[in-house]
């Protein structure tokens, strides 16, 4: 398994800066994971207060993105990194952008949960939604683990899972449409659920993006916008 390590430099300070940035990304990822879990719990239990709490906490993720981005800019200006060091900094900048967007999606689910808590609970596929949420949470966790170990094979596994999440989303969307057709009074409630399910699907997309950045760092190949088969060929080279 191809797992290049972060380069070691004569400057201990440079080593420390790169490791600090990496650790900050993982800390940001941990907060994002918690936000997804809390937002889902609020949605499942009808806990409007928890949903509002998730929404209000989004500023923490935004602040972490800004801080890490500023640190990466300082590294680029001071160190002028090349080769794998440059790829690492680029991968970090892109990863925190996707983590921030995952936070936005958790915020959206939190707001939907708060709104749904004020409505009569309609017949809907809550169990399936919870399963999909667990699926995307695992994708995010695995993507961050691949980032921590810079493991291209693990990243490829995350990318493969995105298609399964897409199928879950499509199945849930069909069920939600059926509920609305059977009971037009449920339209408002089910529409909020659809937005929540859409947010979960987008979280899966962002997890795949993070996996692609890991492959970029390890292999030096940009695998965005390519087929899964082509991505597999690049990882196995």
| pLDDT tens column, 132-148 | 999 999 999 999 999 99
Q: Taking the complete model, does pTM exceed 0.85, yes or no?
A: yes
Percent of the chain whose pLDDT exceeds 90: 77
- CA quadruple 102, 104, 109, 114: dihedral positive or negative? positive
d(CA 34, CA 44): 15
d(CA 157, CA 140): 12
For residue 188, give every residue at least 6 positions away whose Cβ sits within 8 Å of its Cβ, in sequence order, or none: 119
Confidence of residue 11 (pLDDT cuts 50, 70, 90): low
Please determine, looking at this structure, whether the domain spanning 12-236 carries the CATH number 1.20.58.220.
yes
d(CA 51, CA 109): 8
Confidence of residue 123 (pLDDT cuts 50, 70, 90): low
pLDDT at 157: 97
In Å, how far are 29, 50, 110, 129, 154 from 64, measured between CA atoms? 10, 22, 20, 29, 25
pLDDT at 84: 86
144, 136, 143: which is closest to 22 by C-alpha?
A: 144
| pLDDT tens column, 32-79 | 999 999 999 999 999 999 999 999 999 999 999 999 999 999 999 998
């Amino acid at each position: 398994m191809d797992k290049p390590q972060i380069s070691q430099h004569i400057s201990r300070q440079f080593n420390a800066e790169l490791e600090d940035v990496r650790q900050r990304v993982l800390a940001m990822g941990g907060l994002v994971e918690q936000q997804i879990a809390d937002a889902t719990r609020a949605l499942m239990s009808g806990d409007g207060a928890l949903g509002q709490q998730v929404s209000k906490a989004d500023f923490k993720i935004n602040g972490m993105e800004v801080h890490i981005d500023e640190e990466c800019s300082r590294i680029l200006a001071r160190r002028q990194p090349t080769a794998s060091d440059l790829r690492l900094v680029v991968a970090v900048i892109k990863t925190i952008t996707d983590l921030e967007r995952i936070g936005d999606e958790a915020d959206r689910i939190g707001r939907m949960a708060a709104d749904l808590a004020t409505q009569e609970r309609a017949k809907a596929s809550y169990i399936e939604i919870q399963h999909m949420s667990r699926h995307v949470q695992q994708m995010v966790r695995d993507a961050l683990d691949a980032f921590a170990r810079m493991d291209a094979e693990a990243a490829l596994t995350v990318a493969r899972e995105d298609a399964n999440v897409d199928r879950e989303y499509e199945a849930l969307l069909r069920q939600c449409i059926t509920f609305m057709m059977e009971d037009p009074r449920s339209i408002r409630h089910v529409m909020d659920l659809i937005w929540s399910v859409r947010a979960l699907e987008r979280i899966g997309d962002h997890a795949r993006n993070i996996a692609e950045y890991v492959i970029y760092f390890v292999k030096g190949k940009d695998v965005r916008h390519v087929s899964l088969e082509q991505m597999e060929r690049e990882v196995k080279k």
